[in-house]
Chains A and B, each alone.
Chain A
């Protein structure tokens, strides 16, 4: 099986290389070659899928002749974690990377099989170049071959680290990888667009969805990581500004900026240089994230293994950054546009500000993350920056970001008069002000000005978004006579991108409220309690009822039964615990070995919408350890038949001697010993119950932290709404040409302006001017297509526009004919 895997992997490498070469040979419009290269990419995906299946079968069937299986799984590892153990290894995670890339490339090429004929060959070459790099690593770099075998297969494996045996830990890495990897697609098409100088918005339209998918995966991965840290690591936080966390956050921030600024290019043809830089930056950051986990350059709580692949990935990052920079510089003349932002009071202007804030955030985090290297360069000392430094810069930037995120959706594209801006700002601003005053008067939020500002701005943003939904649905209802819920659903399904985006904004707003509240108003204390004692925390009475000890073949569990009462009334029982694992992969250990492996905390969590009560115990097992050592000594003496040991020892000793003489008796003797030992282990573990020993409880009251998870899930739902293909596009996908796409985009823009007018974001004069401009641009597109001059005179057809847009009667609001007639 392993040799079959190696052969398939080698074939996959050849497929990636040849797909890239064939695609480049077909760059001058040789349809047949491009077609062949696409099929080779599909084959590449198939080969890697087979490789993954072979590895998974090996895990599922406990085939310990595979090195990867022996080192990361064992007979006792639960089935679910066996399947997921592949990516807990260096080589397995590289295979996952390459596999996800092969899927993303295949999907991207399938989606563009009748589009972007000039760009696709180069994009194929870039994607397959990256794929060949990662596949090549697994073939040629030392120590990372997924199909490496062990000479004589051991009977059991080392097993999976207990800390990683957590559901979210198993989904978290593939989510992050999918996020990192999917950014390859927009990058590859951007390179193709730059090389061929096809620098309009076509490549963006074709890959926008991939960028959004990548963004959603990465965000969800970050959220899962935070959740794991909160519930499993026993320190009570969800974010520590650790280099590896930062490495995943940076591409997410740049990706967020990219997703916004490409809209400006799509609608206005501006910011082309900026977008090209952003997509290169995002992809480089994604590679950097992949690199950081695999090199030893920075100190991190996420330990890094050997650095065998680090230098190679660094080389790839160098090639990507330098190559792309040269490419962008050589195309600067083509990227420049004469267009300028019309007004500072417009959506594109706010997008630009938000972009700068996001890039600024990323720059701060980058500097802080790599500061140890920077300072070593200048002072010779590896000095690092702690969380307070990060907070000092990221907090104000994040708060400004919330403010501008609130303003952006309220403004229309191109230009907005002060008068209409004032009209849409009135209600959100009033709500923000009321929130500010109420919080300052009735809570202690006034002591934390940053948090107070964030709450006010978030109130502004959320009210603005609510207003968007409300006025949009109202306009629709006015025209179609639908009920409000139907109108709301219709509004969202007709304008998925816009309203999906708004849902994402609302989710992020809620998430930031959760972060601000829980980080500013957390109460955190350590209490020592003996069984029967209780303590008072923020109006709650917590009683340590009694300890509970559990013993099984792999771990000792020290749990504490806690009673929580509020105002004399029982709220519930919590049962946090600390678990001590035996080191994995040891057949017969001593009793003391239970304390030689990992220990994990199972947090006691009473989650609520208002606040979380979070309790993690720290059990003092010094006495138990001492008794375990004594018991181990006693056992040794017993097996040796030392004088003064009980009579059963004689029998045991006789058994051992017999086993020495006759190896077939050995398992029986060992079985007897481990049976006796497990009885002793249980007795030792439970001796704790008689100690009446105090436990140090870390008790945290975290206000509103649940909203962080809720907000994250809302944002994810919003992203799904925006990603979901619209029915019209799905049907039209097969026949659409690039000119059609450009036309359709312009119609959508006209419809957007009409919607903005209908919900009062554009005043009548603003709308008339913007609409006339858009219609002129639409005519230019039609002219270019037909090669003949069309009668110009777009004015006047605006009146029927907003009804059609808001009613969404299924047809395109403006057929080309209509525009021409106008």
Chain B
């Protein structure tokens, strides 16, 4: 085989592999991702589907229940209905009332049941402009 042809074949093979990988990447990312919703959008959501809930912890709503915690979450703008949440597992240090959280879980009987180890709390920003005093 002359080298010109060989190079061309090599290029075609490499490109096809790259395209295949890219397609796999795109396909799995849509299949594996969880939809992000705010509490008000989750009220009445179908049970059995995983969602990623983002919202704010309602002030004074955190209680310890067994070895887990229960609290309520409201939309980020603080408006609308709140969603009761139960969660077991690691609670990040910055977690507290009024903070924004991200939690993956499902809605069961009107309560959002978080999956263990998925609670993420936004760090109290290095870049906050509002005083927290």
Query: Residues of A at under 8 Å CB distance from B?
Result: 71, 88-90, 93, 143, 158, 161, 163-164, 232-236, 293-294, 299-306, 340, 360, 364, 367-368, 371-372, 375, 379, 381-386, 388-389, 392-393, 526, 528, 583-586, 598-601, 618, 620, 622, 696, 698
Contacts and interface: CB of A to CB of B under 8 A. Distances in A.
B100 interface: yes
Contacts of A696: 67
A598 B30 CA distance: 37
Contact of A301 (B63, B91, B120, B132): B120
Contact of B126 (A161, A233, A584, A586): A161
26 contacts: A93-B127, A143-B129, A236-B90, A294-B127, A299-B102, A301-B92, A302-B123, A302-B125, A302-B126, A303-B123, A303-B127, A305-B128, A306-B127, A367-B26, A367-B29, A368-B29, A375-B33, A383-B33, A388-B32, A389-B28, A526-B67, A584-B133, A585-B133, A599-B93, A620-B64, A698-B90
A94 B7 CA distance: 48
A102 B126 CA distance: 24
**A-B interface, 10 closest residue pairs, ranked by CB to CB distance from nearest:** A305-B127, A585-B133, A383-B33, A303-B125, A303-B122, A382-B36, A90-B127, A88-B126, A389-B32, A383-B35
Contacts of A299: 36, 54, 102
Contacts of A294: 127
B57 to A, nearest CB: 13
A367 B25 contact: yes
A235 B90 CA distance: 6
B94 A300 contact: no
Residue among A232, A235, A388, A584 with the highest chain B CB neighbour number at 10 A: A235
B12 interface: no
A161 B129 contact: no
Contacts of A71: 128-129, 131
A303 B29 contact: no
Given A618-B91, A620-B64, A599 B125 contact: no
Given A393-B25, A696-B67, A698-B90, A306 B35 contact: no
A305 B125 contact: yes
B121 interface: yes
B55 to A, nearest CB: 11
B93 A600 contact: yes
Contacts of A372: 36
Interface in B75-133: 89-94, 96, 100, 102, 104, 118, 120-129, 131-133
A442 B28 CA distance: 36
A598 B89 CA distance: 20
B121 A381 contact: no
A233 B92 contact: yes
B21 interface: yes
B17 to A, nearest CB: 10
Given A367-B29, A389-B29, A161 B122 contact: no
Given A360-B21, A384-B52, A599-B96, A392 B126 contact: no
B123 A384 contact: no
B93 A601 contact: yes
B94 A383 contact: no
Contacts of A234: 90, 92-93
A235 B116 CA distance: 12
Given A161-B126, A304-B125, A618-B91, A585 B30 contact: no
A381 B35 contact: yes
A305 B92 contact: no
A814 to B, nearest CB: 33
Contact of B28 (A161, A392, A620): A392
A127 B26 CA distance: 37
Interface string B7-35: 10000000000000100011011101111
Nearest to A586: B133
Nearest to B26: A367
A300 B25 contact: no
Contacts of B125: 302-305
Contacts of A164: 126
Contact of A306 (B54, B93, B104, B129): B129
A584 B64 CA distance: 26
Nearest to B124: A161
B121 to A, nearest CB: 7
A694 to B, nearest CB: 9
Contacts of B121: 301
A385 B120 CA distance: 14
Contacts of A383: 30, 33-36, 52
Given A163-B123, A599-B96, A364 B25 contact: yes
B131 to A, nearest CB: 5
A93 B126 CA distance: 10
Contacts of A367: 25-26, 29
B2 to A, nearest CB: 13
B133 A375 contact: no
B40 to A, nearest CB: 15
A357 B11 CA distance: 16
Interface string B40-80: 00000000000010100000000110010000000000000
A465 to B, nearest CB: 29
B126 A301 contact: no
Given A234-B93, A367-B25, A583-B132, A89 B34 contact: no
Contacts of A528: 67
Given A526-B89, A583-B133, A618-B91, 8 more contacts: A302-B126, A305-B127, A371-B33, A379-B30, A386-B104, A393-B25, A585-B132, A599-B96
A109 B94 CA distance: 45
Contacts of A368: 29
Given A368-B29, A371-B29, A381-B35, A158 B90 contact: no
B72 to A, nearest CB: 17
A599 B96 CA distance: 9
A93 B127 CA distance: 9
Contacts of A232: 93
Contacts of B21: 360
B64 A304 contact: no
A385 B93 contact: no
A717 B102 CA distance: 39
Contacts of B25: 364, 367, 393
Nearest to B17: A356
Given A384-B52, A389-B28, A526-B67, A304 B34 contact: no
Contacts of A393: 25
B29 A163 contact: no
Nearest to A240: B120
Contact of B93 (A163, A381, A382): A163
B64 A622 contact: yes
A696 to B, nearest CB: 6
A596 to B, nearest CB: 8
Contacts of B100: 303
A304 B128 CA distance: 8
B75 to A, nearest CB: 14
Contacts of B33: 371, 375, 383-385, 389
A89 B133 contact: no
A163 B36 contact: no
A163 B131 CA distance: 16
A242 B7 CA distance: 40
Nearest to A587: B133
Contact of B124 (A364, A375, A384, A598): A598
B122 A301 contact: yes
Contacts of B35: 381-383
A698 B67 CA distance: 12
Nearest to A600: B93
A600 B88 CA distance: 19
A583 B96 CA distance: 13
A383 B128 CA distance: 26
Contacts of A586: 133
A397 to B, nearest CB: 10
Contacts of B34: 383-384, 386
B94 A598 contact: yes
Nearest to B30: A375
